[in-house]
Structure 1
Amino acid sequence: MEQPQLVVGPLVRHVDQESASVWVEVDRAARVTVRAGDHVGERGTFAVHDHHYALVDVTGLPRGTRTAYVVEVDGTQVWPPTDPEVLGGLPDLPAPTLPTLDHDRPLRLAFGSCRTSVSHDAEGNRTHGVDALRAYALRMAGVTHAGDDDPDAGRAVDDVWPNLLLFLGDQVYADETTAEMRAFLESRRDLSEPPWTELADYQEYAELYRIAWTDPANRWLLSTVPTLMVFDDHDVRDDWNTSQSWKEQMEATSWWHDRIVAGLGSYWVHQHLGNLSPAERAEDALWRRVLDHEEALRDGSAAGELDLTDAVDALAERADADPTSYRWSFARDLGSQARLVVVDSRAARVLDPEHRSMLDDAEMSWLDAQLRGDVEHLLVGTSLPFLLAPGLHHVEAFGEALAQGAWGERAGRVGETLRQAVDLEHWAAFQDGFRAVADMVLEVATGRRGRAPRTVTFLSGDVHHSYVSEAVARDHETAERQHSRIVQAVCSPIRNPLPRRMRFATAALSYGLAGPIGHVVARSAKVPVAGLRWGMVRGPWFDNNLASLEVTDDGLRLWWARGAVVDDDHDRPRLTCVAEVPLVDEDGTGDSLRGLRRRFAAGGSLLRRGRREREG
């Protein structure tokens, strides 16, 4: 019998202070064992559409350590690989490790969104730019070294290792496929028939994930750094759930049903399961079947591999028809220094024109319970930026009002066309939900939900440019009670840059023309005023990049880094700094907020200051 093969992975997923979970896809029904020193986890695979997966928990690990591990399939070691070609001829990489958290040490988190999977040669870098994730992986592996502009220059790798890597959507593109993926599609079906070069079923999603996660350097990184993930539109299709009209158009096609079932089902397998702690997974009805089957195998009342194909398809179909039937959002307590809340801003939308919201009532209630103080930093991950450039925010709010009939039925049809054509579908285009969440955040920032954090920081992607904004309460009395800095940090893309002509148009429209127009048209449509006002701190910049966040004694430190090709060595880009934004103030957070309030009161918004910096 041939040796078992590792198809995808391993990926280190959920970790805490004493355990780590490892996800793999293998080529057959098998027993998967993870050995980390004296600590061993083992589990049989489960099948979905003839693919074989395991998520193995290793417990009892020492707190705040990294323990080398191996993965075995039916007793044969498959990771680390014995064949150097698996890692693409890179030099010896450090042994993969299972890390555990230590809540007494400062948190360090990397984040970003939007990554396409193409080659790392000169042609791939010409068309898609340098992969920031690969540059980051090579830096962490010690294959490349920090330059003078690296924010961590002079620090040992052990001191800069991230605790978590948060992917904020569009890890895979189901609708904009690469040449490699199109070749796979063409081997299965006629690309002149719907859905053409887009994905059709679970088998195609499985291949898309394989391509995305088996690039050698990034594969090593994912086998060592714990990851958290949430979807965005391209994981399913551009503008997914923009409006009721969009949904009806998709449901009228011959292929959408199979696509959404495959998209959500493969997401549950590849991304969502690993976001959950072992205790949370045990409460998931579908995962409970995996645990029950494992128990039956041990007591001899069952044999063979559990096939979850029908159950996964049924879950996905049900979740699409009734978003309240399944929650994709999740939260992580990271000790007293931070709490991370990751919000589904795609599948949980309410599209009824009479009651549009980014989140349905059940999801909004869940988020309401998660947004609380008594931590140093409250981090909110949402694929779509909560705070767009203010002018663009008002344009999107106007677009929603127009499409909903503020100026009559005919104008409403025009508004719907514009909404879909130019992606007017962020939080700003769901005003009821936006204002509800803004009110929650202000309650946190003013100490009405426990001790106010030092910061409430939104982490987002999607928009293919990066920036930092900061907000204060619009109401003067509330602003005086605000103790938390409210920040929006965006990192997009990791590898899928806007063409240069589009960068200029995006900057001009989002940060120039949209400003005066947005305020005027929003007022004309009688869009209610939000409880926040905000402006730009830094940005925008359009590089492929990956952002990092580090908790410090006096606040947060944020920086963005990209990959730079040195001496025409495209295969080994060097990590280089794009921007660094310390969210600290020598006089303390309170004085920082007072200064921000004064600038708004004087009409000198952060947006104007940001413009001066860019022009300078």
Structure 2
Amino acid sequence: MAELVLGPMVRRVEGSTAAVWVETSRAATVSVRLDDGATSSAPTFAVHGHHYALVEVTGLPHGGRVPYEVLLDDDVCWPAPDTPFPASTLAARQADAPVRLAFGSCRTSVPHDDVHHLTHGVDALRTYALALADGEAGPLGQAPDLLLLLGDQVYADATSAEMREFIEARRDITEEPGDELADFAEYAHLYGLAWGEPALRWLLSWLPTLMIFDDHDVRDDWNTSLTWRRQMEATSWWHERIVAGLGSYWVYQHLGNLSPAERAADPLWAELQRRREAEPGTEVDLTDAVDAFAERADREPESYRWSYTHPLGASRLVVVDSRAARELEPARRSMLDDAETAWLDEQLTGDIAHLLVATSLPFLLPMGLHRVEALDEAVAEGRLGRRLATAGEWLRQELDLEHWGAFSRSFAQVARMVTEVADGRRGAPPASVLFLSGDVHFSYVTEVDRESGSRMLQLVCSPIRNPLPRALRAFAALGSHGARPLGALLSRLARLPEPPWRWHGIAGPWFDNNLAVLEIDGERLRTAWLGGRVAGSPEGRPDLAVVADLELDVPPAGGAHRRPLARVHPDGRRGLLARLRRRTGRRR
């Protein structure tokens, strides 16, 4: 009998259609059967000896959740008969309902025991899953209807003991790339470690999830600069790593981001359907096509787009690839190549309630750090003399100075587009433009200084589980506040152009492991950063804790920005303290 290896994962839900993704132990027909008996099925396809299916479930009712089962060749494999978790369900979103979106980034896949709670902290995503299973939804009162993972879903370059054990059983780790990932099989094992934990697996079986990669999904500093790229290409292992990284990303993450129409137009998905028609009744082996696709996507970034959009009722989510779409030639250095820039330009329009722009790297770092990165870009690219360029490149890689501020051309382009949206020059301005990001391993909120038009906010949630060492927290906090005058001074001395916006911090930074939950209800915005703690919890099971709870007051579009922006819950000022009452019982 075929067995379920990973999943089911509910991916994109749009209209009355949901995508359900699974990995199986062998070739099979995968069926999703709703509580009323309606069944949708799809055959598996193979990549490097692993078996996958994505089932498009149609006809979901609006306004209620429907339990479902997963069958492999007519045998029920999900849910398990002895599961302690509530039923896995599917639901079509009501168009006029409030939007509740959970988001975050940077989650390492290590055990949930006392030792790793000390070294890596409590997993915020798993904590939230356990709380939701017990009927606790946190300060917003209701569970989210979407989870957005903003990068570093897996760490290909910083492996756990369990992952290293798997690698050592396959090859000699004294040879490159050592205990880092080398091929598709190792990526497949790492995804199993990342998403196979029971509570998280249950969460992903009913909460629709969208994703985008960041550097550690491939390797630290991925596409930081042309120098970095050439250093990687000179190694013996980079080609296989990038092919495996992008190929497995398409299978495990990107495929579920697409709408049915986008999936039908996807070249790999279209090739899969062509082969199925040519060999009916046989599992298609897509290995050669996936490898060729990934190789080309890396070699010719404009050949494929990883960015996408998703409707959120009257609002719109635009998810931007800020890694693979980079142009690294110094004369044209950009976060987004020309094709990606043109696509983004088309997506940034008004006539919507709120515009959400998700990018793994914060578009707005604390302003002082932004200036420092812009200066380092100028130094590393030789604009202040060749003798300093080597030092600038070294700093860029060692200190991760490669956010939007270090791609000044793209920053100015996107800032212009967003300004036109916020000023009502691309349709009626939305009530707010919200940048959602992760990456930096601390969380914060900033606001762009504006007198009228849409409010612009940067919301950052990072990490889910990979905290900065305490020695670096002081440095990051200093950078958030103390770098502003230094950055301004250095920019003036280097005669760099002023950023097109001014912005200031209004909450944070917080260094806890966090998951953020954002609620959009008309023009009302509220967001909370949630973590976990195990001290005093029964059986070592984490309690949900509130790091910050903010009301973000959004005035009518076009109105003056004079009201207080945020009210921070007192727990947010003191760090990771429980706001919610401790549970006295558990629902199973």
Checking the alignment, whether the CA contact within 8 Å between 2:532 and 2:545 is kept in structure 1 is yes
1:28 is the counterpart of 2:34: no
Name the SS for the 1:593 alignment partner.
coil
Q: CA deviation at 1:295?
A: 4.5
2:48 equivalent to 1:45: no
Q: Does 1:484 align with 2:454?
A: yes
Question: Helix, strand or coil: the match of 1:453?
Answer: coil
CA contact under 8 A between 1:121 and 1:570: conserved in structure 2?
Answer: no
Contact 2:112 2:122 in 1 (8 A): yes
Q: Does 1:260 align with 2:238?
A: no
**2:419 aligned residue:** 442
What is the alpha-carbon distance in structure 2 between the residues aligned to residue 530 and residue 22 of structure 1?
Answer: 43
Structure 1 residue 123: Cα displacement = 1.1
TM-score normalised by structure 2 residue count:
0.94
Contact 2:30 2:43 in 1 (8 A): yes
> Aligned runs of 1:419-434 on 2, under 5 Å?
419-434=396-411
Give 1:38 deviation, angstroms.
3.2
Hey, what does 1:98 align to over in structure 2?
90
In structure 2, how many angstroms separate the alpha carbons of the residues matched to 1:550 and 1:69?
Answer: 27
* Structure 1 segment 592-611 matched on structure 2, within 5 A: 593-594=561-562
- Partners of 2:99 and 2:313 within 8 A in 1: no
C-alpha distance in 1 between matches for 2:275 and 2:64: 32
In the alignment, the residues of structure 1 paired with residue 46 and residue 502 of structure 2 have an alpha-carbon distance, to the nearest angstrom, of 50
> For 1:402 and 1:139, how far apart are their aligned partners in 2?
48
Matched with 1:314 is 292
Task: Give the distance between the partners of 1:124 and 1:421, measured in 2 at CA.
Answer: 26
The DSSP-based 3-state class of the residue aligned with 1:47 is strand
Partner of 1:325: 303
| Residues 497-536 of structure 1 aligned to structure 2 (within 5 Å) | 497-512=467-482, 514-536=483-505
1:304 CA drift (Å):
1.1
Quote the Cα distance in structure 2 between the aligned partners of 1:533 and 1:570: 49
What is the CA–CA distance in structure 1 between the aligned matches of 2:539 and 2:304, rounded to whole Å?
A: 43
User: Sequence identity of aligned pairs in percent?
Assistant: 59
Residues 307 and 571 (structure 1 numbering): CA distance in 2 closer, same or farther, change over 3 Å?
farther
Q: 1:354 aligns to what SS in structure 2?
A: helix
**In 1: Cα distance, 2:275 partner to 2:38 partner:** 23
Displacement after TM superposition at 1:568 (Å) = 4.2
- Partner deviation per Cα, 1:468-502 (whole Å, 9 max, x = no partner): 00003xxxxxx55x410000000000001111111
Deviation at 1:592, TM superposition (A): 5.5
SS of 1:4 mapped into structure 2: coil
CA–CA separation in structure 1 for the residues paired with 2:523 and 2:309: 24
CA RMSD of aligned residues (A): 1.9
Q: 1:119 Cα shift?
A: 1.3
Runs of 5+ unmatched residues, structure 1 = 473-478, 600-605
The more displaced of 518-527 and 104-113 is: 518-527
Q: 1:216: which partner in 2?
A: 198
Equivalent in the alignment of 1:559? 528
Tell me the secondary structure at the aligned position of residue 332 of structure 2: coil
How far apart are the structure 2 equivalents of 1:293 and 1:62? 33
Q: Which residue of structure 2 lines up, in the alignment, with residue 117 of structure 1? A: 109
Q: Alpha carbons of 1:588 and 1:302: their partners in 2 closer, same or farther (altered >3 Å)?
A: closer
1:93 aligns to what SS in structure 2?
Answer: coil
Q: 1:595 to 1:141 in 2, by over 3 A?
A: closer
Q: Offset of 1:590 from its aligned partner? A: 5.3
Normalising by structure 1, we get a TM-score of 0.90
Letter in 1 for 2:479: L
Aligned 8 A contact 2:2 2:27 in 1: no
Output the CA distance in 1 between the equivalents of 2:540 and 2:246. 34
On the 8 A contact 1:49/1:202 being kept in 2, the answer is: yes
In the alignment, which residue of structure 2 is the partner of 1:366?
Answer: 343
- The amino acid that maps onto 2:472 is M
Aligned twin of 1:108: 100
Per-residue CA deviations over 1:214-263 (Å, capped at 9, x if unaligned) read 00100000001000000000000000000000000000000000000000
Is residue 431–residue 556 contact of structure 2 (8 Å, CA) maintained in 1? no
TM-aligned CA distance change 1:518 to 1:69, over 3 Å: same
- Do structure 1's residue 493 and structure 2's residue 471 form an aligned pair? no
Displacement of 1:107 in angstroms is: 0.7
Give 3-state SS (helix, strand or coil) of 1:467's partner.
strand
Which structure 2 residues correspond to residues 5-24 of structure 1 after superposition, within 5 A?
5-24=3-22
CA displacement, residues 139-181 of structure 1 (integer Å, 9 cap, x when unaligned):
11117x57xxx414xx4xxxx1211000000010000001110
Deviations 1:398-453 (A, max 9, x none): 00000111221110111111111100000000000001000111000000011100
Name the amino acid aligned to 2:382.
G
Distance in 2 between the 1:326 and 1:137 partners?
34
The match for 1:355 among 306, 309, 332 is: 332
> Do 2:323 and 2:335's aligned partners in 1 also have CA atoms closer than 8 Å?
yes
Aligned amino acid, residue 95 of structure 1: A
Counterpart position of 2:224: 242
* 8 Å CA contact 1:23, 1:55 repeated in 2: yes
1: CA distance, partners of 2:523 / 2:299? 46
Name the aligned partner's letter for residue 113 of structure 2.
D
Q: Deviation at 1:591? A: 5.3
Alignment of 1:137 with 2:136, yes or no, is no
| 1:8–1:615 Cα change, 3 Å | closer
Given that 1:454 and 1:555 are in contact with CA atoms closer than 8 Å, whether structure 2 keeps it comes out as no
SS at match of 2:331: coil
Aligned to 1:603: none
Q: Residue 435 of structure 2 aligns to a residue in which SS?
A: strand
How many Å apart are 1:293 and its aligned residue?
Answer: 4.0
Residue type of the alignment partner of 2:306: W
Query: Which one is further off, 277-286 or 502-511?
Result: 502-511
Aligned pairs (5 A) from 1:119-268: 119-142=111-134, 145=136, 150-152=138-140, 155=141, 160-268=142-250
Aligned to 1:602: none
Per the TM alignment, residue 572 of structure 1 is displaced from its structure 2 partner at its CA by 2.0
Distance (whole Å) between structure 1 residues aligned to residue 407 and residue 275 of structure 2? 43
Distance 1:127 1:133 in 2: 17
What is the distance in 2 between the residues matched to 1:293 and 1:41? Answer: 21
Give me the whole-angstrom Cα distance separating, in 2, the residues matched to 1:511 and 1:235. 30
* Distance (whole Å) between structure 2 residues aligned to residue 292 and residue 311 of structure 1: 12
Paired with 2:509 and 2:545, the residues of 1 have a C-alpha distance of: 17
SS at match of 2:400: coil
Q: For each residue in 1:79-98, what CA deviation from the matched residue of structure 2 results, as whole angstroms up to 9, or x when unmatched?
A: 1023x4xx6xxxx2111011
Aligned with 1:457 (options 424, 434, 457): 434
**Equivalent-residue separation in structure 2 for 1:38 and 1:104 (angstroms):** 28
Displacement of 1:526: 2.4
Give the unaligned 5+ runs of structure 2.
576-588
Q: Distance in 2 between matches of 1:60 and 1:595?
A: 44
Give the Cα–Cα distance (whole angstroms) in 2 for the partners of residues 211 and 576 of structure 1.
25
Alpha-carbon distance between aligned partners in 2 of 1:19 and 1:273, rounded to the nearest angstrom: 15
Residue 114 of structure 1 aligns with an amino acid whose one-letter code is C
Moved more, 218-227 or 30-39: 30-39
Q: What CA distance in whole angstroms lies between the structure 2 residues aligned with 1:279 and 1:43?
A: 17
Q: Distance in 2 between matches of 1:205 and 1:54?
A: 17
Q: Is the 8 A contact 1:17 1:62 kept in 2?
A: no
Distance 2:320 2:186 in 1: 27
Q: State the 1:522 CA deviation.
A: 1.7
Q: Which moved more, 1:572-581 or 1:233-242?
A: 572-581
> What's 1:583 paired with?
552
Quote how far apart the aligned CAs of 1:595 are: 6.3
Aligned to 1:476: none
Aligned partner of residue 458 in structure 2, secondary structure: strand
What is the CA–CA distance in structure 1 between the aligned matches of 2:558 and 2:417, rounded to whole Å? 20
Q: How much has 1:594 moved relative to structure 2?
A: 4.6
